Amino acid sequence: MSGAETTTDRRVLVLNGPNLGRLGSREPDVYGSTSYAGLVARCTALGAELGLSVEVRETNDEGELVRWLHEAADGSVPVVLNPGAFTHYSYAMRDAAAQLTAPLIEVHISNPHRREEFRHTSVVAEVATGTVAGFGIDSYLLALRALVAEPAG
């Protein structure tokens, strides 16, 4: 963003798919020890610092995630999305994400390409503005920073 633009109160949805509410207890060797509450706190704190109004949500329900993406599309709201397992097969979620007009940044706590082969494919990647993966919870923070960065020239 240029110096004349502001991000104050710019709304951002941070959407999480299945099992992400179990952060801190689910496979800490893969996903780290930060709890879901810790993720929410870190995202909202950085958002406030960046002038963003960040709302973090988690669901195990594919239909609910699709509805949230529709909400973001209807309101031109930027999205940071960790689809969880939906990454690899949810064409309904992918089609909802494709309707977004504001930026969509796909995030993953681990690096899917260093894991099982089925995790190597993302149906979301081709409709995402960008992807941040493999930096633990910091993947979310990097994505939020990317939303306010100057676009590539």
pTM assigned to the model: 0.84
Angstrom CA distances, 142 to 59, 81, 116, 139, 149, stand at 22, 12, 24, 5, 10
Query: Which architecture characterizes domain 10-148 according to CATH?
Result: 3-Layer(aba) Sandwich (3.40)
Residues of the chain with pLDDT under 70: 1-9, 22-33, 113-116, 118-120, 150-153
pLDDT at 6: 44
Alpha helices in 90-148 (DSSP H): 91-97, 138-148
What is the Cβ-side half-sphere exposure of residue 149, based on CA atoms within 13 angstroms?
Answer: 14
The ranges assigned to domains in the chain are 10-148
Whether 36 is catalytic: no
Query: Which candidate in 36, 89, 91, 108 is catalytic?
Result: 108
Annotated binding site: 82, 88, 95, 109-110, 119
pLDDT tens profile 70-87: 999 999 999 999 998 888
Whether 113 is catalytic: no
Annotated binding site for substrate: 82, 88, 95, 109-110, 119
Number of Cβ within 10 Å of residue 142's Cβ equals: 17
pLDDT at 34: 72
pLDDT at 1: 40
pLDDT at 2: 38
Largest CA distance in the chain: 46
Both tokens of 9, joined, read 């109160």
Number of Cβ within 10 Å of residue 45's Cβ equals: 12
